[in-house]
Amino acid sequence: MTFYQSTAPSPAYPALQTNLSCEVCIIGAGYAGLATAASLLERGIKNIVLLEAEYVGYGASGRNGGFVFGGFSLGNQALIKQLGLARTRHLYQLTLDSVELIRQRIDKYTIDCEKNDSGVLLANWFDDERILTQQQQFMQQQFHVDWELWSCEQTREKLHSQRYFGALHEKNAFHFHPLKYAQGLAATLVAKGLQLYEGARVNKIDSSTGEKIVHTRHGQVKAQHVVICCGGYIDQLKPALSRSVLPITTFAMATEPLGERLDEALSTSAAVYDTRFAFDYYRPLADSRILWGGRISIFNPHPREIARLLYDDMVKVYPQLAGVKVEHAWSGKMSYARHQMPQIGQLPDGLWYGMGFGGHGISTTTLAGEVLADAIATRQPLPSGLEQFGLPASFGALGLLAAQCTYWYYGLRDRWKE
Ligand SMILES: Cc1cc2nc3c(=O)[nH]c(=O)nc-3n(C[C@H](O)[C@H](O)[C@H](O)COP(=O)(O)OP(=O)(O)OC[C@H]3O[C@@H](n4cnc5c(N)ncnc54)[C@H](O)[C@@H]3O)c2cc1C
């Protein structure tokens, strides 16, 4: 069981046992499905059915690190090379707007998800200040965003580790309990009229006629529009989508409550990641645990092995935490396209989709919800630039192997730099 499951109430929604008709049927109750439902409801579309194979937040959305910040899995420098500065700026701004929208929804719908507004720190793993100053100037000059530079001394006053040589503080970012956010948003939407079914795995979508028919084991849904939001859990539901997404497994763990020992490591409640390609990320939790995550794998290790790997990563940074117990360890699947950008759009048979959010999925799924709702409710085109990222083949097992090798290669490069 993940730490999040052990601390979130998990209300049950009914299974689909009948046939229904609706305006929009959404498949998958992760953030992408929930955000699409929220944006549609906020635009006045009322007759929406959301079908979830397991339970709300079962996938990456209920298992992630909880870092809510702007940007895409593909970095801004690479994005500028492909789209130019103006369109990159616009898309990056949309992710910042989405961070703000999540904040507003938490407030407006009084979602209790342990929101922590201390921001996010990008800690420098390398003894080379230029890494931070260049990044800070780049964000300031190109995106007019102010990431505060912390010296090595300032950083070590807050993060008691000899591993770091300074940091950038992204003050406007925040962190939260991801499963509580998914559940809170779902409860709000159901109260506003969303018809939500759990244990309702979609096994076929008939899109041969104008009105689509979505099949589950015990019921069907007829819909004018269908939106597929199945992330890294899509399996073979829709081959045109399945073959363009790599389900990449990544790990997280939570320690036991550390009480005063937490202060030996952290004197900040900001969330932290570092400047390596294969970075650690972690944050203090409300009850004095540390949530720690990192790594990717094409294998599916036992939680005991995940706990061991992440514990070793943690004591490498904070040797003073040696001996603390890891109480929960788990994995989750992120969906990655080869181009590392979200895949949002409509297939030739009329089905809509929103997937490929990678490791930067909290704000970008919210962005996808807005974009899909605009397209469905008011026929607006995708924001300029996004349409460029299509559905290239991901080459299944070979693609996964390539992703793992890339990760190992960059991990080695980081170690060499170190
Ligand atoms: C360990 C981990 C840490 C991460 N940390 C962060 C972070 O700190 N910040 C950040 O921005 N991003 C992070 N991410 C990424 C982020 O969580 C994801 O990008 C995002 O949650 C994807 O949302 P989604 O709705 O596309 O997919 P998911 O949340 O995976 O949801 C897909 C849903 O579709 C359902 N489904 C699949 N097939 C069917 C079917 N046939 N019928 C019905 N339902 C179906 C699944 O059961 C699932 O609930 C992390 C991811 C992981 C795994």
Q: Decide if pLDDT at 393 tops 90.
A: no
Residue 187's identity, in one-letter code, is A
**The tokens 């998914």 sit on which residue?**
182
The ligand 1 atom nearest the CA atom of 354: 26
The ligand 1 atom nearest the CA atom of 62: 29
Query: What are the residues facing 48 on neighbouring strands?
Result: 24
Return the structure tokens found at 311.
């514990």
Crossing angle of helices 130-143/76-83, nearest 10°? 40
| pLDDT for residue 397 | 77
Handedness of CA 152, 320, 284, 4 (dihedral sign): positive
Q: Decide if pLDDT at 290 tops 90.
A: yes
State whether the beta carbon of 237 lies less than 6 angstroms from ligand 1. yes
Q: How confident is the model at residue 411 (pLDDT cuts 50, 70, 90)?
A: confident
φ, ψ for residue 30 (rounded to 5)?
Answer: -90, -170
Return the structure tokens found at 251.
């790990």
The HSE-up count of residue 17 (CA atoms within 13 Å, CB side) is 3
Query: What are the residues facing 49 on neighbouring strands?
Result: 25, 195
| pLDDT for residue 396 | 77
The ligand 1 atom nearest the CA atom of 355: 26
Query: What are the residues facing 293 on neighbouring strands?
Result: 252, 281
State whether the beta carbon of 271 lies less than 6 angstroms from ligand 1. no
Q: What mean pLDDT comes out for the span 68-78?
A: 97
Handedness of CA 292, 184, 72, 243 (dihedral sign): positive
| pLDDT for residue 33 | 98
Q: How confident is the model at residue 10 (pLDDT cuts 50, 70, 90)?
A: confident
Percent of the chain predicted with pLDDT > 70: 100
pLDDT tens by residue, 130-143: 999 999 999 999 99
Q: What mean pLDDT comes out for the span 292-316?
A: 93
Q: How far is the CA of 57 from the centre of ligand 1 (A)?
A: 7
Cβ proximity of 35 and 236 under 8 Å:
no
The ligand 1 atom nearest the CA atom of 51: 43
Separation in Å, CA 387 to CA 85, 157, 165, 240, 353: 16, 45, 39, 16, 12
Q: Decide if pLDDT at 415 tops 90.
A: no
- Mean pLDDT score of the chain: 95
Give the residue with greater pLDDT, 82 vs 11. Answer: 82
Q: How confident is the model at residue 18 (pLDDT cuts 50, 70, 90)?
A: very high
- Strands 148-150 and 167-170, by their bridges, are antiparallel
Q: Decide if pLDDT at 180 tops 90.
A: yes
What is the rounded distance in angstroms from the CA atom of residue 257 to the CA atom of residue 271? 17
φ, ψ for residue 372 (rounded to 5)?
Answer: -65, -40
- Residue whose CA is at the smallest distance from ligand 1 atom 26: 231
Separation in Å, CA 408 to CA 183, 252, 392: 35, 18, 23
Return the structure tokens found at 377.
């409710």
| pLDDT for residue 77 | 96
Alpha helices for 249-302 (secondary structure H): 261-265
**The tokens 């801004």 sit on which residue?**
76
Separation in Å, CA 50 to CA 177, 329, 379: 22, 29, 21
Query: Domains, the chain, ranges and CATH?
Result: 3-65+179-246+338-406 (3.50.50.60)
**The tokens 């094409």 sit on which residue?**
298
| Exposure string for 101-127, b = 16+ CB within 10 A, e = fewer | bbbebbeeeebebebbebbbbbbbbbe
Return the structure tokens found at 417.
């730099």
Q: How far is the CA of 270 from the centre of ligand 1 (A)?
A: 23
Q: How far is the CA of 6 from the centre of ligand 1 (A)?
A: 18
| pLDDT for residue 374 | 97
Q: How confident is the model at residue 233 (pLDDT cuts 50, 70, 90)?
A: very high
Alpha helices for 144-271 (secondary structure H): 152-158, 178-191, 239-242, 261-265
Q: How far is the CA of 27 from the centre of ligand 1 (A)?
A: 12
Q: Decide if pLDDT at 404 tops 90.
A: no
Q: What mean pLDDT comes out for the span 24-48?
A: 97
